[in-house]
Amino acid sequence: MSTQEDALRLRFPQKKSQETIPRDFQELVSKPRGSPNLINSIWTDIVTKYTRGVTGTQVIILPQGDKISPRRPDDDRAWDTVNLRCVTCKGACPICKAACCRYESAKQAVANADTDPETKVRAKRTLQRVERLGSRVRDISTFSLCNRFGGCGRYVCPRCCGQCPGEMCREIQCKVSAVLSTCLLLSICTMSRAGC
């Protein structure tokens, strides 16, 4: 053997024989190589990731040092995160009537008589997937409580509320309350910076 052939073998290793590679995922699952609990756990993780991908409910965690991005109290998820299913559903948003999670949205689509048949079929499929996954996909609600002192005190969706930009305040107000009242702490901070 020449050194050229050795170099080629190092650069392009021979492929594994087809016998050692499983033909499809079903074959891999039908011949378990570990404990049944491990395989069920892996399978559930795969189905959960697939379901979150299809429904657009991937969980995005904000970095710890990020002080600019808005956050809900005691929650490190991105502001516009959508739940697959809530631990306790808050119902529809009082401002825009949006559902609190994809599960609740699918339930509304199935119950609504005006929904077209194709959408109903997709909604039923989503309901079945989420129910099979059980409590593994339940998340804390993304609806935020509008400030009771300067706001309305209702739970509203992330699209209908915002967070005060003042670092000391960071209170949450809905669109309706933000127009009617101003944040007391923000106005104090603004006046102190302006020298009032």
Residue 61 located in a structural domain: no
**How confident is the model over 49-70, as pLDDT tens digits?**
988 998 889 888 888 888 788 7
Cα–Cα separations (whole angstroms), residue 71 to 53, 66, 82, 147, 188: 23, 10, 14, 15, 22
Reported as a pLDDT band with limits 50, 70 and 90, residue 2 is low
Q: Which residue has the higher pLDDT, 177 or 133?
A: 133
What phi and psi values does residue 162 have, to the nearest 5 degrees?
A: -145, 175
Cα–Cα distance between 103 and 130 in angstroms, integer?
Answer: 7
Residue 29 located in a structural domain: no
> Which residues partner with 161 through β-bridges?
174
Residue 128 located in a structural domain: yes
Residue 71 located in a structural domain: no
**How confident is the model over 85-134, as pLDDT tens digits?**
999 988 899 999 999 999 999 999 999 989 999 999 999 999 999 999 98
Residue 185 located in a structural domain: yes
Give the structural domain span for 178: 85-194
Residue 42 located in a structural domain: no
Residue 72 located in a structural domain: no
pTM to 2 decimal places: 0.67
Number of domains in the chain: 1
Residue 1 located in a structural domain: no
- Residue 172 in 3-state DSSP? strand
Cα–Cα distance between 31 and 40 in angstroms, integer?
Answer: 13
